[in-house]
Structure 1
């Protein structure tokens, strides 16, 4: 391997890229093109103790991501996941943050760190021939990052405060966090970002983040996902660079791994920045996928598929009766639970009216009042949404990596599409009935004098 002690030297960079380009062309572009279905499927194996998933679209670019079991669900104290995310691609034992930035810019690449309720993702997008460099960089980030007092106070603390200020006026995000808290209590019920009222000082500092990193960044808790890379190349560089990553957590800090329980209930929060109401029910997890829930979410929908048309979805029709309202229905899938949400945002009176119509629409599905044409459209939309999400992008890497670290295998789109096609009117009716007859989750944020209670919507909590 070439030394990268000063990659800013143009000649050194050009020499490295030329050498790697030959490898990429030999192992990637010369390979026979696979059939369309297999291009959506990840090959999985274990390399040097690391769970690796790869699929090759034979394009000129590659996305490579480390997906770690470190979302807000697993943090033992508030704020740790956000703090760990903000230390990504900072100073390491070998590179200063400035050098990482400079090298990445010279290669025309993009580095990204983000988290969900169940995962922390470190992602790199780059030209195909640069896979050796970025495999090494990701391995270095999770095994040799420095967690310093200066970095914490100068950057991490500042970013967290900015996110808290932004969240304070985002009633949609607050309502969704509130719905998770009511539905699941702890674990998945933890807010995606800490609010300004969250007591962080006693939990969050550079030492607690470093301890959390030692618990998270172990081979047993991560998956390496490559999209646009050959299996041979990714396995070779994983074997070479991930030797230094610990096989298991290197300290006694325990992640929160309690199994998810659905509770349901109601929570109301007064707010002056707007109005948002979430009605939710137990949904489909990616551990036990329920195709009828995917079709139900597509039938509820929200935004029309075609401009100038209200669309066929039930929520788009409900929103049309209350001008200025934004309504959406979506299944939020997690490893061992799911939350089918109906969220309505807008003026308080309009949110109330649209919410009433939305619940009526859901109950009409439970009574079997769905036309054959609308069912056909919903199945087609659910299939399209699944296939669209499977193409190269953030959701693909995240779902593949999350599937591996939680269930041992990636979420394979071919199986999903096949099961969605088997949803019948009776299965849809049965699924909807079980939801409306069960315990709902209702979260209201805004003008509580106008926003409805669950009982007023005809729901049991």
Structure 2
């Protein structure tokens, strides 16, 4: 198992399953260590909308052993840092600390994962308000909303589940949270990764701290399937138009990520415009319009997406740029040169390496790969050929996209107008 930022220790990774707990130690002798618990429990696995988001927000609150206040103060006294987040496939809890404090923080993570209180009053007073704030902050960015809608249209269930709670329609009860906790916080669904640790000591501590967690079974989600359609939401925050192409099974390959860079590119200099076709076309329409391209990699699926954004007053320009982007995508099989693809491979490889170029990023990559979740290894891009990229380009050029329009929707195009 190898990730970009692990070259110094890739040959000495130590993977073990002790008492049913999967763990990986990345040896090192630096002054700080980082331990992450990666949990197969993201929004695609939830049975109640918003349960994964709310459960993640419960991280580092009260447990059976210590209050959230005590947990925070103890961490501060030791100079440590705690963090948590979730995505569509996983929930990740991380502690970063001085090397000598490894025993305390492994025990703390075991306490947080194994015996959280999950009290109703915490949900009402702390967790739910924070979840709503996070959700509303995301909704205030039209491009975020458009990408969420694109997932919903492209996958419907599972990967199409909303990543965040909907403050206006979701009502996540404490029972929903406890049910999701019981299903996912089990030995079958967690992978513990220690970075820059003493291997033998780390494995012993993991066995002690996590050994009593329930065995459980690996949670499952609906088998991903690709759909197309359209979602449109009014917003005065700005305009965003997203064209998304779901890819399933073998089609969800690194070549799809490379195609995104071939068409959308990334600027080599800050504030500059990429020389790729889609951003170049948008720049010709209006200086107020911008584009973004991405490839979301999941287990047995992926979503290649192209977005055009602009201020509320520039809806007509966003519309024109979106139509240009659609035209570029349709002509890609015949217009892409080997030189453009070679450049795109380098950009995709750099982006993948940068995403995990930290202890936290490495831990996520190792943990998700160990759980069979979506991840992209930079080595995979070395095997991508121009023919493979052109094959993906042909597939999406012939496909009907999942479309999401946010903003002044009566001026943004419909799918059949592209």
* Same fold? TM cut 0.5: yes
Note closer, same or farther for the CA distance 1:411–1:310 as it changes in structure 2 (3 Å cut). closer
What displacement does 1:333 show? 0.6
- Find the aligned partners of 1:310 and 1:284 in 2 and give their Cα distance: 31
- Find the aligned partners of 1:185 and 1:412 in 2 and give their Cα distance: 23
Where 2:44 maps in the other structure, the secondary structure is: coil
Checking the alignment, whether the CA contact within 8 Å between 2:329 and 2:396 is kept in structure 1 is: no
> Which of 34, 39, 42 matches 2:9?
39
Structure 2 gaps of 5+ residues are none
Map of 2:298 onto structure 1: 334
Q: Does 1:350 align with 2:317?
A: yes
Q: Does 1:236 align with 2:197?
A: no
Query: Which has the larger displacement, 394-403 or 425-434?
Result: 394-403
Where 1:266 maps in the other structure, the secondary structure is: strand
Map of 1:440 onto structure 2: 401
Note closer, same or farther for the CA distance 1:307–1:255 as it changes in structure 2 (3 Å cut). closer
What displacement does 1:175 show? 0.8
- Find the aligned partners of 2:88 and 2:75 in 1 and give their Cα distance: 28
Note closer, same or farther for the CA distance 1:361–1:242 as it changes in structure 2 (3 Å cut). same
Map of 1:79 onto structure 2: 50
Q: Does 1:276 align with 2:240?
A: yes
Checking the alignment, whether the CA contact within 8 Å between 2:352 and 2:376 is kept in structure 1 is: no
Q: Looking at secondary structure, tell me which structure has more strand per residue.
A: 2
Checking the alignment, whether the CA contact within 8 Å between 1:283 and 1:331 is kept in structure 2 is: no
- Find the aligned partners of 2:271 and 2:119 in 1 and give their Cα distance: 54
What per-residue deviation string (whole Å, max 9, x for no partner) do you get for residues 316-345 of structure 1?
Answer: 313322212221111101112110010111
Checking the alignment, whether the CA contact within 8 Å between 1:55 and 1:228 is kept in structure 2 is: yes
Between Structure 1 and Structure 2, whose CA radius of gyration is higher?
1
Map of 1:314 onto structure 2: 277
Map of 1:155 onto structure 2: 126
> Which of 179, 182, 192 matches 1:224?
192
Where 1:120 maps in the other structure, the secondary structure is: strand
Q: Does 1:450 align with 2:411?
A: yes
Note closer, same or farther for the CA distance 1:234–1:428 as it changes in structure 2 (3 Å cut). same
Q: Please list, as runs of the form range in 1=range in 2, the aligned pairs for 1:85-96 lying within 5 A after superposition.
A: 85-96=56-67
Checking the alignment, whether the CA contact within 8 Å between 2:283 and 2:290 is kept in structure 1 is: no
Note closer, same or farther for the CA distance 1:276–1:366 as it changes in structure 2 (3 Å cut). same
- Find the aligned partners of 1:420 and 1:207 in 2 and give their Cα distance: 44
- Find the aligned partners of 2:198 and 2:263 in 1 and give their Cα distance: 39
Note closer, same or farther for the CA distance 1:284–1:104 as it changes in structure 2 (3 Å cut). farther
Quick one: higher RCO (CA 8 Å, sep 6+), 1 or 2?
2
Checking the alignment, whether the CA contact within 8 Å between 1:284 and 1:340 is kept in structure 2 is: no
Where 1:228 maps in the other structure, the secondary structure is: strand
- Find the aligned partners of 1:309 and 1:273 in 2 and give their Cα distance: 24
Q: Does 1:399 align with 2:360?
A: no
- Find the aligned partners of 2:274 and 2:248 in 1 and give their Cα distance: 25
Where 1:423 maps in the other structure, the secondary structure is: coil
What displacement does 1:228 show? 2.1
- Find the aligned partners of 1:107 and 1:155 in 2 and give their Cα distance: 25
- Find the aligned partners of 1:178 and 1:137 in 2 and give their Cα distance: 37
What displacement does 1:75 show? 0.9
Where 2:336 maps in the other structure, the secondary structure is: coil
TM-score (norm 1): 0.82
What displacement does 1:302 show? 4.7
Q: Please list, as runs of the form range in 1=range in 2, the aligned pairs for 1:236-315 lying within 5 A after superposition.
A: 236-248=204-216, 257-283=221-247, 290-307=253-270, 309-315=272-278
- Find the aligned partners of 2:112 and 2:252 in 1 and give their Cα distance: 33
- Find the aligned partners of 1:256 and 1:268 in 2 and give their Cα distance: 30
What displacement does 1:431 show? 1.3
CA RMSD of aligned residues (A): 2.4
Structure 1 gaps of 5+ residues are 1-34
Map of 1:360 onto structure 2: 327
- Find the aligned partners of 1:331 and 1:215 in 2 and give their Cα distance: 29
Map of 1:11 onto structure 2: none
Map of 1:14 onto structure 2: none
Note closer, same or farther for the CA distance 1:360–1:40 as it changes in structure 2 (3 Å cut). farther
